[in-house]
Amino acid sequence: MTRFPLGLTLLLGFLTLLGAASLALSFGSVAVPVGQVWRILLHWAAPGLVEVDWTPVRATIIRESRLPRVVLAVLVGAALALAGAVAQVVTRNPLADPYLLGVNSGAGFFVAVVLVLGIGAGVLGAATVPIAAFLGALVALLLVLTVAGRFGSVTALVLGGLGVAQIFGAGILMVIFLAAKGDQAKQVLFWLSGGLGDARWESMVVPGVVLVLALAAGMAVGRWLNLLSAGDDGAAALGVDPKKLRLLALIGVALLAGTSVTVAGGIAFVGLIIPQAAAFLVGADARRLLPVAALLGGVFLVAADLLARVVIAPLEIPVGAVTSSVGGVVFLVMLYRRRGRAA
């Protein structure tokens, strides 16, 4: 059931994103007033338009440190929320989430193999790690669906995802302890905790392109995705090949999650809680759900990263710890609400 107009929801979401981004750019070890933050950015975009009343150090902090981090948070949050929304639509399961389905662990394991063991490294140049993350995410997702698909229940999906995540998690630990040298262990542990502190402009190209293409594709086939809610027989009767559509959609989920893991590590539960919030606001129609979920995902991760930076400042906690704290509670509540249903 549609609850709010799509245009109004997107507008309010965008304004909320601007507010969250303003705070994220303002707060830090060096506090910069919000008004000055936007004057710095405006001067950067159009030199001479505003009077310079800030030091070069502040300008460097905003442009080279905090702004890339905020942009990366938007891209990763939107990608993970979009991946979760698509997974929930095509599996007809509100608990489907890249993290719970073992996708993050699969991507992290393949990345660890490339970074530590060097298998495949250098074959595709800079694209080696993103491709490894995508392949790991896809393998994990297919394993879970192969096992859980035989039972067709929420319990089987969650337990299958946890099992696959444990297997790949054990693989990551074995790679670290048996083969890691120098800073390799630190690099791999980055993916386990999740973080945005290493944000760089050049690292955003692939996630940005994948997000735009995935969102455009999801919107284009949104009407067909909606037909899956009628079940495979119903969708087939309406002219849709459900198995092919589901496979293509889940490949998109793996691609979104894999590229996100590559640049930000294993950030959990964004794909679980944000699509639920989006569905509450605009309903379950994929053509409305997907853009709202992507926007809210960006807002959520920007806010979570800000909290991670300031809650025990000057120390910084991994943003994955913040999202897991919130998402874990939501996950338990969702399981509790489903306690009386057949699994």
Three-class DSSP labels, 276-313: HHHHHHHCCCHHHHHHHHHHHHHHHHHHHHHHHHHCCC
- How many structural domains are present in the chain? 1
Q: Which residues contact 263 (CB under 8 A, 6 or more apart)?
A: 72, 76, 199, 203, 204, 206, 207
Q: Which residues contact 318 (CB under 8 A, 6 or more apart)?
A: 193, 194, 195, 265, 308
Q: Does the pLDDT of residue 34 top 80, yes or no?
A: yes
Report if residue 1 sits inside a domain.
Answer: no
Tell me, what CATH number does 178's domain have?
1.10.3470.10
Q: Does the N-terminal peptide bond of residue 33 adopt cis geometry, omega within 30 degrees of 0?
A: no
**Each residue of 233-259: pLDDT tens digit?**
777 777 788 888 888 888 888 889 888
Task: Report CA 67 to chain centroid distance, whole Å.
Answer: 18
Q: Does the pLDDT of residue 299 top 90, yes or no?
A: yes
For the record, the structure tokens of 66 come out as 């905090």
Inter-residue long-range contacts of 14-19, CB under 8 Å, 24+ positions, other chains counted: 14/295, 16/299, 17/74, 17/295, 17/298, 17/299, 17/302
Rounded average pLDDT over 83-89: 92
Rounded average pLDDT over 181-199: 76
- Confidence label for 342 from pLDDT (cuts 50, 70 and 90): very low
Rounded average pLDDT over 166-186: 83
Alpha-carbon distance of 137 to 130, in angstroms, equals 11
pLDDT of res. 67 = 95
pLDDT of res. 343 = 47
pLDDT over 90, % of the chain: 35
Cβ contact 275:81 at 8 Å: yes
Which comes out higher in pLDDT, residue 191 or 163?
Answer: 163
Report if residue 342 sits inside a domain.
Answer: no
Q: Which residues contact 42 (CB under 8 A, 6 or more apart)?
A: 49, 50
Rounded average pLDDT over 267-288: 91
Is the pTM higher than 0.85? The answer reads yes
- Confidence label for 340 from pLDDT (cuts 50, 70 and 90): low
User: Per mean pLDDT, which of 49-63, 79-93, 284-298 is the most reliable?
Assistant: 284-298
Report if residue 202 sits inside a domain.
Answer: yes
Report if residue 343 sits inside a domain.
Answer: no
Cβ contact 89:289 at 8 Å: yes
Nearest to 196 by CA among 100, 113, 258, 260: 260
Q: Does the pLDDT of residue 156 top 80, yes or no?
A: no
Which comes out higher in pLDDT, residue 38 or 129?
Answer: 38
Alpha-carbon distance of 306 to 28, in angstroms, equals 9
Least confident range from 11-20, 241-250, 274-283: namely: 241-250
- Confidence label for 282 from pLDDT (cuts 50, 70 and 90): very high
For the record, the structure tokens of 109 come out as 């394991």
Cβ contact 249:225 at 8 Å: yes
What domain range is 320 assigned to? 6-337
Cβ contact 249:86 at 8 Å: yes
Indicate if the alpha-carbon torsion angle 46, 52, 55, 61 is positive or negative.
negative
Q: Which residues contact 183 (CB under 8 A, 6 or more apart)?
A: none
For the record, the structure tokens of 72 come out as 């990366």
Reduced DSSP (H G I as helix, E B as strand, rest coil) percent helix, strand, coil of the chain, to 5: 75, 0, 25
pLDDT of res. 150 = 60
Helix (H, G, I), strand (E, B) or coil at 221: coil
Q: Which residues contact 189 (CB under 8 A, 6 or more apart)?
A: 176
Residue linked to tokens 């589901």: 246
